[in-house]
Amino acid sequence: MSWLPSLLTDTPESGYELAIKLSRMAVKKTQPDDDTRSKLRADYANNADSLTMVSNVVATNFQTVAQANNYWRD
Amino acid sequence: MSWLPSLLTDTPESGYELAIKLSRMAVKKTQPDDDTRSKLRADYANNADSLTMVSNVVATNFQTVAQANNYWRD
Amino acid sequence: MSWLPSLLTDTPESGYELAIKLSRMAVKKTQPDDDTRSKLRADYANNADSLTMVSNVVATNFQTVAQANNYWRD
Amino acid sequence: MSWLPSLLTDTPESGYELAIKLSRMAVKKTQPDDDTRSKLRADYANNADSLTMVSNVVATNFQTVAQANNYWRD
Amino acid sequence: MSWLPSLLTDTPESGYELAIKLSRMAVKKTQPDDDTRSKLRADYANNADSLTMVSNVVATNFQTVAQANNYWRD
Amino acid sequence: MSWLPSLLTDTPESGYELAIKLSRMAVKKTQPDDDTRSKLRADYANNADSLTMVSNVVATNFQTVAQANNYWRD
């Protein structure tokens, strides 16, 4: 099973969750070691600018997901 | 009730508020602890570059919300 | 009266001014204290990278405003 | 005369020049003092990351200008 | 054979892989030396903000690839 | 002869090369001195985050070029 079978989601909220997943996947593919990523989590989860940077990536991915779903207008 | 039932808003101003909400939600989902986020707030709310970074995320999310609403042209 | 009644403007120049307004509003809503923002202004207005970061936010917001106005093509 | 009468240009190259103008105008409107901007120029013009940041802003503005001109396809 | 024969992919997942490839290619073309890039890898793969920055680039490229593929809607 | 006669390219790969050219041109126009740029090259070509920043600019410009070419779908 693919981790990304589709960009289509039923609701805006699940689309937002997909945007978070997309944002994390690039990190995981760049740093595949689970332990290392766990340690790094303490860094960015406790730093204001790091969290803003994360939010920026989610925003870009959410733009893509929202476009794919025609903004869930229907 | 979903925190994000729709991307559609009645006015540009409420669309801007939604963009702020979207920007904060990614932070909340990355750092769910309320106390930690409150402490971090003092950091970014008093630093010029941090505030500009926040504004950048809002701008990206507002682009998405504005597109969803056809720019409130009607 | 809303601070953002519409994304439509008569001219590209006034659209650019609106983009600046949108960029500043996110800062204001994150740091509502006028005095604090005034003090921070000295920081970013005298730092090259800070000014470039501000320009980046304006560019993203101008993209939104320009799209809303069909690039003032008519 | 407006500094931005239109987003339309005759050629891609002049569109790129307009993107640079748009990028600089946000800086000028944030820091209107000519002497200060001249001094700051030595900072960013001699720093690799600063120059990349400037290029990022130009890229976003060029995207807007290129869209406005239908990518000069005709 | 071109390293980029097409932006079209069969699935969203392979589109995401292409976005990663696009992101790395700009680095490779700026720093063509394999040994240097390998050494730098230890830097960004163990730094939270560096990984977020990488994810940001992937997000922008994924937006392009997803648009090219009409979001794999069919 | 213009350095940017058109945004249209025959292939995705040549479109990517054009995106790199667009990214470098903003740097060249901000820092026209060839020697200075050559010295700065050692800085960003050996720093992981600097290279990621460069890749980010290329990604934005590639988005523009890809749109101009209708993603080379035909």
pLDDT tens digits along A17-56: 999 999 999 999 999 999 999 999 999 999 999 999 999 9
Q: Which residue of F has its CA nearest to E48?
A: F49
Q: What is the mean pLDDT of residues A51-71?
A: 98
Range of the domain at E65: 12-69
SS3 A54: helix
Q: Which residues of A touch B31 (CB under 8 A)?
A: 45-46, 51
Q: For residue E4, is it within any domain? A: no
Chain D residue with minimal CA distance to F41?
D48
Task: Check if the interface score ipTM surpasses 0.90.
Answer: yes
How many CB atoms within 10 Å of residue A70?
12
CB contact under 8 A, C52 and D27: yes
D1 pLDDT band, cuts 50/70/90, is confident
Q: What per-residue string of b and e applies to F12-43 under the rule 16 or more CB within 10 Å gives b? A: bbbbbbbbbebbbbbbeebbeeeeebeebeee
Q: Is residue C29 part of a domain?
A: yes
Q: Which residues contact E20 (CB under 8 A, 6 or more apart)?
A: A26, A29, E58, E61
Identify whether D7 is part of a domain: no
CA-nearest residue to F30 within chain D is D45
User: Cα distance from F37 to chain D (closest Cα, Å)?
Assistant: 8
Q: What is the pLDDT of residue A1?
A: 87
> Is C1 a domain residue?
no
Question: C24: pLDDT confidence band, cut at 50, 70 and 90?
Answer: very high
Which chain A residue lies closest to E66 (C-alpha atoms)? A64
Cα Rg of chain F, angstroms: 14
Q: Give the pLDDT mean for B12-40.
A: 97
Query: Shortest CB distance from E54 goes to which of A8, A30, A41?
Result: A30
Helices and strands, counts by H and E, chain A: 3, 0
The reported pLDDT for the residue numbered D9 is 98
Size of interface B-C (CB pairs under 8 A): 91
Query: Would you state the pLDDT for residue A57?
Result: 98
Tell whether B1 is covered by a domain.
no
Q: Looking at the complex, report in whole angstroms how far the Cα of residue B29 sits from the nearest Cα belonging to chain C.
A: 19
Interface of D with F (CB under 8 A): 11-13, 16, 20, 44-49, 51-56, 58-60, 62-63, 66-67, 71-73
Domain for residue B6, yes or no?
A: no
Q: Do D3 and C20 touch (CB under 8 A)?
A: no
> Cβ contacts (< 8 Å) between B40 and chain C: which residues?
none
Q: DSSP code of B74?
A: -
- If one counts the domains in chain D, the total is 1
